[in-house]
Amino acid sequence: MQSMRWLPLEANPDVMNQFLKQLGVGSSWQFVDVYGLDPELLSMVPRPVSAVLLLFPVTEKYELFRAEEEEKIKSHCQDVNNSVYFMKQTISNACGTIGLIHTVANNRDKLNFEGDSALKKFLEESVSLNPEERAKFLEKDESIRVTHESSAQEGQSEAPSIDDKVDLHFIAFVHIEGHLYELDGRKPFPVNHGQTSDDKLLEDAIEVCKKFMQRDPNELRFTVVAFSKA
């Protein structure tokens, strides 16, 4: 059976903010560009930051690392807080939307939802499901699919054909109970990157992003976006 496929979402804060607005998420928090990874440019990012999204190229080097990382975590185990909301990705090119869902789901206590919010409804109905069941639940959610499709057409660059192979992937970094978690729907579980805090989330997430870049030093296709208090 052929898997579902969506148009890819652009790593554009305006598109992401409009996407969340359409799904009934209040505008008290907004996505903003991170223009560089040095301290001076990071100081320009509005605080506090409650999530960081990274768009990166899926290369051969990365896939090798991902397989090694998975084996290492499985053999050594890791602590993952039960309150982390994590979902698998079963829809091709849906990683942008899953990154947004991971951002909102793990910051529900900070956000306000407006009217008959489709995303609030999705989270309430999926919070008790496991990561695989949440993925299946997303496949059936027409409100989110339609919003994704319209948002994917809104970017500054021309939207690719739905059949184009896209080798760029979104992941989210969030702070839960004193730890930094990487949430990637292509992985079997969240990755705990150690201790962090609300104040240090941006800097600690950026340190992990730098490792992605160091693994592929010839690649330039990296984009970092922060979810900041407006």
β-pair partners for 55 = 170, 223
Q: What is the pLDDT of residues 141-176, one digit of tens each?
A: 999 999 998 888 875 555 444 444 558 999 999 999
Sorted by where each begins, the domain ranges of the chain are 13-229
The residue type found at 26 is G
pTM of the model: 0.94
List pLDDT tens digits, range 35-87: 999 999 999 999 999 999 999 999 999 999 999 999 999 999 899 999 999 99
Architecture of the domain whose range is 13-229 = 3-Layer(aba) Sandwich (3.40)
Distance of CA 163 to the CA centre of its chain: 22
Task: Single out the catalytic residue among 95, 102, 175, 209.
Answer: 95
What is the percentage of the chain residues whose pLDDT exceeds 70? 94
pLDDT at 130 > cutoff 50: yes
Catalytic residue among 102, 148, 169, 179: 169
Q: Is 95 an annotated catalytic residue?
A: yes
Task: Say what the pLDDT of residue 36 is.
Answer: 95
pLDDT, tens digit, for every residue of 78-105?
999 999 999 999 999 999 999 999 999 9
* Annotation says 169 is catalytic: yes
